[in-house]
Structure 1
Amino acid sequence: MKSALVTGANKGIGFEVAKILAQQGFFVYLGSRQLKNGEAAVEQLRAEGLQHIAAVQLDVTSQASVDAARSAITALDVLVNNAGIAGGFEQSALETSADDFLTVYDTNVFGVIRVTQAFIDLLRQSEAPRIVNVSTAMASLSLAADIENANYPKRYVAYQSSKSALNMYTVNLAYELKETACKVNAVCPGYTRTDFTGHQGTSTAAEAGQRIAKYALIGPDGPTGKYFSEEYYPAPAVCPW
C-alpha cells in the first residue's frame, strides 16, 4: 500500500487532501501541530469508512517535531506540504516587521524545507514519489507587478513573498530531482472558504483538495517543476511566476 503525509491536515484543505488520498487507497499520515486535533480528524474520517489513516504530531516550525514524525514513518510515496499561515490581515512593505516576516517564513518556507529534507530519503525509495507544495496565485510576480491589478485590492506582503520563495524552492527541488522518478509541483488551491480566509472565498475546501490531490496522483509522464492555478486560469494552465 502506498503512503502519504499531509501537513496541516486536521482541518480545511489539508483534511480534504488527506481524505481524497485515503479514498484512493493510500495509507495517509495526517500531520497536525496539536495531536489531539489530528486524532479528532482521524476519527471523523474513520466514521466515513476510511480506516487506513493515522494522526502524527507535526509542527513544521520545530525540527524536533519533524524529526520525531520522521522516526514514526517508515515508508512514504507522497508528501503534501500544506501547512501554512497568513500572518494576519494587516501587512505592509513599510510597516510589517522583519520578525513578523520571519514568523510567516518559518512555517511557509522553512517548514517546507525541514519536512522535505527530513523525508526525502523515504521518498527516494518509492517507485513513484510525488511532492506537492501548496502555494497561491498571489505569489505571482507577474500579476503583482501590475500595480493597478484589481485582483490585489490589498497586499499581504509577508504571505505573498513567502509563497514566492516557496515557488522558487519548488523549482530548485525539481531541478535537483530531475534525474529521478520524483515529480515536484506547486499548486494554488484557489480562494477557498476555510478558517484561513475567514470563511470567505470562491471555492469549497473539497474543491481545493481535489486541485491539490490531482498533482499527488500524476503518472510518470506528469509535469515537474511547475506551478498550477486552475481557479485563475483555464485548467490545466500554468500561472506565470
Structure 2
Amino acid sequence: MVNLFLASVREGTWKSQGWPETWTDYAVSKLALNAYSSVLAKRSQRFGLVVNCFCPGFTRTSMTGGEGTHTAVEAAELATRLALLPTEELPTGKFYISHNNVLRSKL
C-alpha cells in the first residue's frame, strides 16, 4: 500500500487515483508504522519483548491547530502508563488508542 501511494505521488496521479486529499501522507505513514510494529511484535516475542502501537487520540497540539479533546501532557501520561506496564500484563502486537483518557485496544 505504501509503495502504491509513493508511486502515485511520484507520478503525480495520487489525486486522480482516488487517494483522500486530506491527511493522506499521515494516514499512509501510520499504516506502515502499525504494520511494521506487528512484524516486530511477532519477531520479538521469543525474546520476551512487547511491541505495540499507541495513538494518543485527538490531542491539542500545533498539528491539530490547537484543537483536541485533551492536552499533550494528558496523552503523554497515558503513554507512560502503557509503557510502564509489566510485560506479563501487556499483550504484544496490539494497537492502543486513547479515548477520553482511557486506553482501548483495537486489535
Match of 1:97 in 2: 9
The correspondence of residues 106-185 of structure 1 with structure 2, limited to 5 A, is: 155-185=22-52
- Structure 1 vs Structure 2: percent identity of aligned residues? 34
Measure the CA separation in 2 of the matches of 1:98 and 1:230: 34
Measure the CA separation in 1 of the matches of 2:51 and 2:76: 17
Q: Deviations over 1:31-63 (max 9, x none)?
A: xxxxxxxxxxxxxxxxxxxxxxxxxxxxxxxxx
Measure the CA separation in 2 of the matches of 1:181 and 1:204: 33
User: What are the ranges of 5 or more consecutive residues in structure 1 without an aligned counterpart?
Assistant: 1-92, 100-153
Match of 1:229 in 2: 97
Decide whether aligned partners of structure 1 residues 195 and 237 sit closer, same or farther in structure 2, where only a CA change above 3 A counts. Answer: same
Measure the CA separation in 2 of the matches of 1:239 and 1:166: 15
**Over aligned residues, Cα RMSD in angstroms?**
2.5
Measure the CA separation in 2 of the matches of 1:210 and 1:229: 13
Measure the CA separation in 1 of the matches of 2:78 and 2:10: 33
Letter in 1 for 2:55: C
Contact 1:185/1:215, CA 8 A, preserved across alignment: no
Name the SS of the counterpart of 1:201 in structure 2. Answer: coil
Name the SS of the counterpart of 1:230 in structure 2. Answer: strand
Match of 1:88 in 2: none
Measure the CA separation in 1 of the matches of 2:29 and 2:86: 29
Letter in 2 for 1:210: E
Name the SS of the counterpart of 2:53 in structure 1. Answer: strand
Match of 1:82 in 2: none
Which one scores higher on RCO, CA 8 angstroms, separation ≥ 6? 2
* 1:213 and 2:67 correspond: no
What is the aligned residue count? 91
Measure the CA separation in 1 of the matches of 2:91 and 2:27: 24
**How many angstroms does 1:98 deviate by?**
3.5
TM-score (norm 2): 0.72
Partner of residue 61 from structure 2, selected from 190, 194, 202: 194
Name the SS of the counterpart of 1:209 in structure 2. Answer: helix
User: What are the ranges of 5 or more consecutive residues in structure 2 without an aligned counterpart?
Assistant: 12-20
**How many angstroms does 1:185 deviate by?**
0.8
TM-score (norm 1): 0.34
